[in-house]
Amino acid sequence: MTRDKVRAIAAQLGYAPNASARGLASARSYLIALAYDNENASYVLQLQLGATRRCRQNGFHLVIEPVPSGPAARDTIARLLDASRLHGLILAPPMCENADVLDLIAARGLPCVRIAPLLDREGMAAVRSDDRGAARTATDYLLALGHSAIGFVTGPPSGPAASLRLAGFDDAIAAHGKPIQVYKAQGDFTFRAGFDQGMALLDRADRPSAIFAANDEMAFGVIAAAHRLRLTVPHAVSVLGFDDSPAARTMFPQLTTVRQPTRDMAAAAAAILLNGDDRAVERNFTPELVVRASTARAPAGGARA
């Protein structure tokens, strides 16, 4: 009764509560922050889109905070926490492993969800995807196409995603009955690295008939290298990526890849904070293989077509 009366008067006066004032009074705000030190602009954008869409349902908004990698991260996060009374914080990889940042957040008692962390942290929520299992599934697919000489371009050694994807690749090769010729090349998730390693792997007589790149951008680089060497994808060489970034559909040929549920993961992270059940909650997603036009049966007569 009283509530209705207040609402009616508020509507009449055009009164809307101020987030800062509301924050003071209720120790809550309508702001969630996403902090990241990730260089992949397309990945960060997908996180933002997933989180904002979920926030919108509850009338919340998303503050974005790019943070420097390494020791300086802590100070940047501290300034953000001082400046705004956040409802909660989402930490993107690889920063979600930064112990200084996690200590700070724990000390402030701020609800926090980590996206795709490698290591567990007592009492902190996490949203994960099974990159290892998905990389294994994708490698099994190449093996089922009859490829017996397969290259793998890795991500940066420090990143959690890179090591999980490599482990999944190794799992599949180890579990396969027949011996497989494996070529591993060190990449860093950039187009340039994919191109350079693609040239190195393909410009040789005993080249692999399939290359699995640990992310899409490197897979685009591998395709570029194949084009340059006049090797047709997928008939001379199959190329497989990981991410399913928007550009995977605007490549020639369209890229076979593993769909990262990045938007869904960010939305799940926001939902955990909005529901207020951030203590040691864990949500798991399974990336799926998306077969498009960049993979085909191994050329007859083995790898050397």
Partner 1 sequence: MSGKRATIYDVATAAGVAIKTVSRVVNKESGVSERTRQRVEEVIVRLDYRPNRDARSLASAQSYFLALLFDEDQPDLVPEVQRGMIAACREGGHHLIAEAIDIRSPNLASSVQALLATSRPDGVLMVPPVADSPELLALLVAANVRHARISAVALPGAHLFLPLEDADAAAAITACLIGNGHRRIACIRCDDGTQAGALRYEGFGRAMAAAGLPIEYTMVESGDGSFSSGMLAASVLINQPAPPTAIFASSDEMALGVLSAANRMRIAVPDQLSVCGFGDTLASRNVWPSLATVGQPVADMAQHAARWLLRAEVDCPSFAPVVSARDTIAAIRFATVEAR
Q: Which positions lie near partner 1, rule CB under 8 A?
A: 16-24, 30-31, 33-34, 41-42, 44-45, 48-49, 52-53, 56, 59, 61-66, 79-80, 82-85, 103-104, 107-108, 191, 195, 217, 220-221, 223-225, 227-228, 246-247, 249-253
Instruction: Examine residue 68 and say whether the peptide bond preceding it is cis (omega within 30 degrees of 0).
Output: no
Q: Residue 241 corresponds to which tokens in the numbers above?
A: 């990526």
Q: For partner 1, which is the closer residue by CB, 18 or 69?
A: 18
Q: With contact defined as beta carbons under 8 Å apart, do 221 and 195 qualify?
A: yes
Q: 141-174 b/e with 16+ CB inside 10 Å = b?
A: bbbeeebbbbbbbbbbeebbbbbbbbebbbbbbe
Closest CB 40 distance from partner 1, rounded Å: 10
Smaller CB distance to partner 1: residue 4 or 82?
A: 82
Residues 6+ apart with CB under 8 A from 254: 248, 292, 293, 294
CB atoms within 10 A of CB 126: 22
Tell me how far, at minimum, the Cβ of 103 lies from partner 1, in Å: 8
Beta carbon nearer to partner 1, 21 or 144: 21
Rounded CA-CA distance 54/274 in Å is 9
Beta strands in 148-277 (DSSP E): 149-154, 181-186, 210-213, 238-240, 257-259
For the CB of residue 29, give the shortest distance to partner 1 in the complex, in Å. 8
Q: State the minimum distance, in angstroms, from the CB of residue 160 to partner 1.
A: 23
* Least Cβ distance, residue 77 to partner 1 (angstroms): 12
Nearest residue (CB) to partner 1, 83 versus 205: 83
Closer of 228 and 304 to partner 1 (Cβ) = 228
